[in-house]
Amino acid sequence: MATTEVHRAIEAVFRIEQARLIASLARMVRDIDRAQELAQDALLIALGEWPRTGIPDRPGAWLMAAAKRRAIDGLRRDKMLARKHEVFARESEEASDSAIAEIEARMDDDVGDELLGLVFTACHPVLSGEARAALTLRLIAGLTTEEIARAFLSNAVTIAQRIVRAKKTIACAGLAFEVPRGAELEARLRSVLEVIYLIFNEGYAATAGEDLIRPSLCAEAQRLGRMLAARMPEAAELFGLLGLMEIQASRLTARIAADGSAISLTGQNRARWDQSAIRRGLAALARAEDLGGADGFYALQAALAACHARARSVGDTDWRRIATLYDRLRAVAPSPVIDLNRAVAYSMAYGPEVGLALVDEIAEAAALRNYAPLPAARGDFLFRAGRLAEARRQFEAAAGLSQNARERAFLLERAIACG
Amino acid sequence: MRVVVFVKATEDSEQGILPSTELLEAMGKYNEELANAGIMLDGDGLKPTSQAKRVAFDGASRAVIDGPFAETRELVAGFWLWEVKDMDEAVAWVKRCPNPMPGPSEIEIRPIYEMADFAENLSPAAAEIHDRTRDKLSGA
């Protein structure tokens, strides 16, 4: 094999191992920066040795051993330096001895899955959602700062600063890189799921022609979700989220028209939905329900997505079930936007007048002020009820509020169709 | 990207010789690793082609051919569906697989076409024709 080929093979192995490596090291030295440095050192050592020796049978263990040796060497060097400065010698010598002992103890202490500990730390609620997402993509998914910046339509400096600050916050809070237990676990898991869904949605929002790294965020989020699911087989909400992401991802290709514009759910060619993704999604949702999580925030949304996934045509959609699911979702997560979607579902299940009555109840909500989908929905109800002049005013109002050129054009077309 | 990973058949697999306990255990561990890494979407082992059928197409005719089929090295004995970052990662994972057969064997990695693969070659007009054809084929 040519050298570059060997290097590529080594780098691929490193990418597979790096999250676990950083996770173990971070727990050991309680410092993410140092853990990343040690992992990089291990890579450099591997790049030096493996082309000669071949890739070892257990490359992860090999890299870990190399990184640990570096960690201990570093501490010994610190100790030597301290000895030279005699004033502090005694105190710091004792300190570094105990630091080495402590780290060696942590090396032997098997806490189960360290990767999970790192995920929970990177997604700790002390950090903002954006910081959690950036740090998770950097540490767990192994994306570079530059890639994360491109993925989030930001610049590398901003993302780098965000990651540095997040690491500082984690250090100051003295987080232990462990999986929380008992009552804390549920709240902390919620924070992890939020991050995964945020990453997924960022990918889902990508439009045609954008940097390809953006849509790949969907796959990254799903991969993170699957990694977690393999380790937390009892976490109902996690399976709800997996199901939701699978079913939404099943429509990734079908939702974009040849000219790059978005196609609404009802307009999509259902033959293009990825049936294997739907099957996986339904299985994950069933698991969430079996675990008693049917009324979870994500499981309910997955159940909603599943109603559409199961319908072979728009006409087959079970709108009554969708309306009921929105009742339950609204009980779990009250929000005017969910209420609006609920009104749409009710209008489809029970007629436009029912939709109009429900939308009147929520029209004053502050969150819906200047929210284009509100007049758009109302316009649709009025149109279907045959009240064309009123419908047109609503579509025009919606077009005036829309931030999106394609959506605006669509709404104006609907206004014109009212005559 | 998604890849299908084919475990190629051997004389043993074609004779329906089942994997040993040790191999089953090693494969189980390997599958667990794949799941832990979040890359495995699907996977299964296939029965030998003595239980398979082929349908040969020629114009309007359809001829059914019963297995077993001769060209053992070209046959498939099992598959996985993986979601990986690139081919390098897929290769690195395949190298970790225990040898799936008692003797020498091969595993083949085939990337699945994704939307982006067509993006450069497909003008919007061509894409629309393509879509329309697909619509007709699918009866939508």
Measured in angstroms, the CA of B62 and the nearest CA of chain A are apart by: 25
> Of the ranges A91-100, A102-111, A168-177, which one carries the lowest mean pLDDT score?
A102-111
Question: Which phi and psi (to 5°) does residue B8 adopt?
Answer: -80, 150
Which burial class, exposed, middle or buried, applies to A29 when counting CB atoms under 10 A from its CB (0-12, 13-18, 19+)? buried
Which burial class, exposed, middle or buried, applies to A103 when counting CB atoms under 10 A from its CB (0-12, 13-18, 19+)? middle
What b/e string do you get for A60-75 counting C-beta neighbours within 10 Å, with b at 16 or more? Answer: bebbbebbbebbeeeb
What is the rounded distance in angstroms from the CA atom of residue A133 to the CA atom of residue B70? 53
Residue B64 lies in a domain: yes
Chain B: residue whose CA lies nearest to A12: B89
Measured in angstroms, the CA of A270 and the nearest CA of chain B are apart by: 8
pLDDT at A1 over 60: no
Q: Which of A228, A150, A165, A158 is nearest to A196 (CA)?
A: A228
Tally of domains in chain B: 1
> Cβ B140–A9 below 8 Å, yes or no?
no
What digits encode the pLDDT tens for the residues A320-354? 999 999 999 999 999 999 999 999 999 999 999 99
Nearest by CB: A258 against B39, B91, B127: B127
> Cβ B35–A252 below 8 Å, yes or no?
no
Measured in angstroms, the CA of B37 and the nearest CA of chain A are apart by: 5
> Of the ranges A22-36, A351-365, A398-412, B75-89, which one carries the lowest mean pLDDT score?
A398-412
Q: Is the dihedral of CA A306, A308, A313, A317 positive or negative?
A: positive
Residue A284 has a pLDDT of 98
Nearest by CB: B38 against A227, A256, A269: A227
Under 8 Å between Cβ of B110 and B101:
no
Q: Which domains does chain A have, with CATH numbers?
A: 3-108 (no CATH), 112-175+182-232 (1.10.10.10)
Nearest by CB: B88 against A9, A225, A269: A9
Residue of A4, A13, A261 to mutate for B, most B C-beta atoms under 10 A: A13
Looking up residue B14, the CATH number of its domain turns out to be 3.30.70.1060
* Chain B residues inside the 8 Å CB shell of A219: 83
Nearest by CB: B38 against A226, A252, A256: A226
Residue A247 has a pLDDT of 97
What digits encode the pLDDT tens for the residues A384-408? 999 999 999 999 999 999 887 878 8
pLDDT at B139 over 90: no
Residue of A269, A282, A314 to mutate for B, most B C-beta atoms under 10 A: A269
Residue B139 lies in a domain: no
> Cβ A258–B81 below 8 Å, yes or no?
no
Chain A: residue whose CA lies nearest to B39: A223
Chain A: residue whose CA lies nearest to B130: A258
Residue B132 lies in a domain: no
Residue B126 lies in a domain: no
> Cβ A226–B125 below 8 Å, yes or no?
no
What digits encode the pLDDT tens for the residues A37-65? 999 999 999 999 999 999 998 899 999 99
Q: Which ipTM was obtained for this model?
A: 0.81
> Cβ B131–A258 below 8 Å, yes or no?
yes
Residue B136 has a pLDDT of 47
> Cβ A9–B91 below 8 Å, yes or no?
yes
Residue B122 lies in a domain: no
The DSSP symbol for A29 reads H
What is the rounded distance in angstroms from the CA atom of residue A136 to the CA atom of residue A255? 28
* Chain A residues inside the 8 Å CB shell of B81: 276
**For range A360-369, the mean pLDDT:** 88
Nearest by CB: B92 against A16, A226, A228: A16
A48: left (phi over 0), alpha (psi -120 to 50) or beta: alpha
Residue B104 has a pLDDT of 95
What digits encode the pLDDT tens for the residues A307-324? 999 999 999 999 999 999
Task: For chains A and B, count residue pairs whose Cβ atoms are closer than 8 Å.
Answer: 73
Residue B117 lies in a domain: no
Residue B137 lies in a domain: no
* AA letter at A267: G
If interface means Cβ-Cβ distance under 8 Å, which residues of chain A face chain B? 8-9, 11-13, 15-16, 55, 208, 212, 219, 222-228, 230-231, 252-253, 256, 258-260, 269-272, 276, 280
Provide the residue range defining the domain that includes B70: 2-112
What digits encode the pLDDT tens for the residues A132-142? 999 999 999 99
> Cβ B93–A16 below 8 Å, yes or no?
yes
Measured in angstroms, the CA of A360 and the nearest CA of chain B are apart by: 37
> Cβ A226–B35 below 8 Å, yes or no?
yes
Give the number of other Cβ atoms within 10 Å of residue A371's Cβ.
Answer: 17
Under 8 Å between Cβ of A323 and A304:
no
pLDDT at A159 over 80: yes
Measured in angstroms, the CA of B137 and the nearest CA of chain A are apart by: 9
Angle at A95 between CA A90 and CA A101, to 5 degrees: 125
